[in-house]
């Protein structure tokens, strides 16, 4: 089950208690249908724009349907790795339009 973040599960479009209960029921059905393994994932961050253009983000919250009392029943893993090293092209100070222009010029030579 992917994206078990509050606002997605339950959906932030739910307006009534009945809609919230339907979302809870659907989660129950999804989690109890697993035969061998159940993977529940959620993002640590929501980036507002591409990471290459900055680190503007907000932190995700685990779904309210998965309270801390259930945590001992799960194995928890984080897949956060080291930041990738930037290539010379990614760290350049030259405007991207000049780079594109130079690459296009090479194509036609």
List, for residues 64-102, the tens digit of each pLDDT value: 888 888 888 888 877 766 666 666 655 656 666 777 778
Total of domains in the chain:
1
Q: Hey, what long-range contacts does 42-49 have (CB within 8 A, 24 or more apart)?
A: 42/3, 42/4, 42/5, 43/3, 43/5, 44/78, 44/80
Reported as a pLDDT band with limits 50, 70 and 90, residue 22 is: very high
List pLDDT tens digits, range 38-49: 888 888 877 777
- The CATH code of the domain that includes 52 is 3.30.160.800
Q: Does a structural domain hold residue 40?
A: yes
Instruction: Please state which of the ranges 15-24, 26-35, 68-77 shows the lowest mean pLDDT.
Output: 68-77
99 located within any domain: no
């Amino acid at each position: 089950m992917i994206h078990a973040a509050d606002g997605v599960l339950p959906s932030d479009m739910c307006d009534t208690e009945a809609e919230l209960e339907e979302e809870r029921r659907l989660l129950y059905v999804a989690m109890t249908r697993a035969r061998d393994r159940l993977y529940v994932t959620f993002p640590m961050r929501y980036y507002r724009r591409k990471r290459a253009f900055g680190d503007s983000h907000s932190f995700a919250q685990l779904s309210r349907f998965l309270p801390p009392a259930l945590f001992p029943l799960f194995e928890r893993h984080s897949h956060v790795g080291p930041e990738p090293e930037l290539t010379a092209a990614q760290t350049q100070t030259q405007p991207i339009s000049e780079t594109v222009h130079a690459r296009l010029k090479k194509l036609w030579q």
